[in-house]
Structure 1
């Protein structure tokens, strides 16, 4: 039996050609325009080359503890930096927004578990909102609430849909400080998803179309129950708000499409990349990684043996993903994380950085075990865990002044 969904809980003719160019020492890029769409074809540089940007040797702020005062005990937390340097932590374990000053000292707690105004059930994320306000989403993205800079509740709303079935309702992915919401409609069991842009009331502003998502197999057991599965190392859809654009990539190939606010395609960014196929020896690391996620998530211990047997029968994807993640930073650069092949561990996470036009500048390293939540002009806001599984929200300094090598 392949991996089940509950285990995961855990074209046109060119009209102009600009030839090959290089930017700031990065690899050559062929740029052309095709029917109003800018196409940027990047060559891949040697993996040993570096852009020169450096992450500090240790975090400047670290929030979290194994034991101690409750606000510092984090469970299923994510975070965003507020305009005044405070850090808003969405602590999913307690359904609270915990606010820390720039030094990491707890100063306020907003919300809490419940169904009243300003309360949450299933808090998942926070983001900056117009002015100095903040928006939080919860109940699997079904609801969003707005708070002012002091934590006073303003209003709640949900993403509006013409469909009445709850399983067809869109969910937020990211939000901009101007009130723009990037949403995704990916019904369970579907191998495609609809990407949309919404306004600050949750109403549809533009559709970016239907895009391939995870490869999904649907099976029916002897009792007639549907079981959904996907291959090991299968491709997936990746999204990011990239300046005024929306970046959409599918990890089956190294290609990222950037859409305007009206839903039209503005740019296609590609990079030479030879896809590799996994072999049977790669299944073991996949199984262990999934089992570790299940254990950390509190999956019932008595069900773990069945989960392992199911994972061990998971089919392999035809190829490894071309990349892992895409993240846009505060200055308009796009960071694409290189895929880490099993049994070939890198000493650090490796990212390809692209400029605002989509030209690759070079590679940047970030420390292992850091889950990047936000990239500012001079910092990384991250989530990490220590050897005991204790979660921390940390700020790491980022120096962009160095030259590449």
Structure 2
């Protein structure tokens, strides 16, 4: 067991607490051994040159269907592509536009029961359902409901669409107290679309950290925290990424459980800051451009970095109510997925290669967005195995 991870599992259940109190689940060590990726993926999709259906520009999502096939959303080409379990292209659906089956922005929505593929157009605030052949079944605009998701929505097992909306004031209420470069955190809510109604489950949640530019203008903070969430059948797990802690809301908006567990140290070290600076410099081929970045931009970028990393940056629910928690990408040389059970107890840890983005996952597999040695975006499916197994 590595330093910083304790050796006992403690589950504190407040059975004698009054009605409305929360159950607190504290996990100090996993129940099972760590997991690792198989040496090679079962399938990798994405090439630098060749048939256009295998070339990606901007992969914004991918899901693995029940038959093992994979659907990939490529926002640059404004389409969805389905591949069989061996990676062979089956169909392409969609194009740029505003009509049915046309998209401006493209996010895949996970977990929509009874619908093979659901996509959300973030430019038009509209969801589209497709069958397994890529045909459009239905479209629905959220505009008449006044709903404007800030990030990608997620489906609950019973069909509700859950998301965090754009704040009404975009942080304007903070502006009178801010100077250029100041960091603030706006407040948001967790809402669900139920029929023709938008239901607020909880409001006043600390949302995205931003840095102030000028009145009416701000940007996301580098390594900034945000609210992360995932719906399950019993409600929604959510957290603000301040620490390794999540809360469970039932569908009435009541917090019924709090999960806490151990994780990597969140301190932003000089080593990590140096690595971040080098990553920025690597984007510039011209020596003068590199020098200009260090003179003109790096001081402000460095000063806006936090003293602590966000604890996590994504949650991925499984059909049985368990869920994966993805740690922040810059926390450690190896990124991690933590598996928590349906009650919030920590079960296992998976170390990921650096730079991987989790698109979909199960108990024994994970679907990642990666880049190859030529910086070509690819989608890769890996099986998981126990460390030392």
TM (norm. structure 2) is: 0.79
Q: Deviations over 1:321-355 (max 9, x none)?
A: 2334332233332222344656x523xx3333222
Q: Deviations over 1:274-314 (max 9, x none)?
A: 9654356643333444667x88xxxxx98995698334313
> Where do 5+ consecutive residues of structure 2 fail to align?
1-6, 172-184
CA distance in 2, matches of 1:192, 1:303: 37
Q: CA deviation at 1:66?
A: 0.8
Is 1:59 aligned to residue 41 of structure 2? Answer: yes
CA distance in 1, matches of 2:116, 2:264: 44
2:312 aligned counterpart, secondary structure: coil
Is 1:30 aligned to residue 19 of structure 2? Answer: no
Relative to structure 2, which stretch is displaced further, 258-267 or 29-38?
A: 29-38
Contact residue 45 and residue 380 of structure 2 kept, 8 A: yes
Q: Relative to 1, partners in 2 of residues 1:312 and 1:290: Cα closer, same or farther, differing over 3 Å?
A: same
Contact residue 197 and residue 261 of structure 1 kept, 8 A: no
Contact residue 26 and residue 361 of structure 1 kept, 8 A: no
The residue aligned with 1:256 is: 246
1:374 aligned counterpart, secondary structure: strand
Contact residue 191 and residue 212 of structure 1 kept, 8 A: yes
Tell me which of 26, 43, 67 is aligned to 1:42. 26
CA distance in 1, matches of 2:80, 2:88: 14
Is 1:186 aligned to residue 174 of structure 2? Answer: no
1:228-267 equivalences under 5 Å are 228-229=218-219, 231-267=221-257
2:159 aligned counterpart, secondary structure: coil
Tell me which of 310, 314, 317 is aligned to 1:321. 310
2:296 aligned counterpart, secondary structure: helix
Q: CA deviation at 1:219?
A: 3.5
**Alignment RMSD, CA only?**
3.4
Contact residue 195 and residue 210 of structure 1 kept, 8 A: no
Contact residue 160 and residue 202 of structure 1 kept, 8 A: no
The residue aligned with 2:181 is: none
Contact residue 235 and residue 248 of structure 2 kept, 8 A: yes
CA distance in 2, matches of 1:26, 1:304: 51
CA distance in 2, matches of 1:228, 1:395: 37
2:163 aligned counterpart, secondary structure: strand
Tell me which of 154, 173, 196 is aligned to 2:153. 173
Tell me which of 357, 365, 378 is aligned to 1:371. 357
Contact residue 87 and residue 102 of structure 1 kept, 8 A: yes
Q: CA deviation at 1:37?
A: 4.2
CA distance in 1, matches of 2:103, 2:11: 47
Tell me which of 209, 212, 215 is aligned to 1:215. 209
Is 1:394 aligned to residue 380 of structure 2? Answer: yes
Equivalenced residue count is 359
Q: CA deviation at 1:81?
A: 1.6
Contact residue 330 and residue 377 of structure 1 kept, 8 A: no
The residue aligned with 1:335 is: 324
The residue aligned with 2:96 is: 113
Q: Relative to 1, partners in 2 of residues 1:115 and 1:324: Cα closer, same or farther, differing over 3 Å?
A: closer
The residue aligned with 2:86 is: 103
Superposed structure 1 runs of 4+ greater than 6 Å apart: 301-304
Relative to structure 2, which stretch is displaced further, 357-366 or 275-284?
A: 275-284
Q: CA deviation at 1:159?
A: 2.3
1:317 aligned counterpart, secondary structure: coil
> Where do 5+ consecutive residues of structure 1 fail to align?
1-24, 296-300
Relative to structure 2, which stretch is displaced further, 386-395 or 139-148?
A: 139-148
Contact residue 109 and residue 153 of structure 2 kept, 8 A: no
TM (norm. structure 1) is: 0.76
Q: CA deviation at 1:59?
A: 0.8
Contact residue 182 and residue 197 of structure 1 kept, 8 A: yes
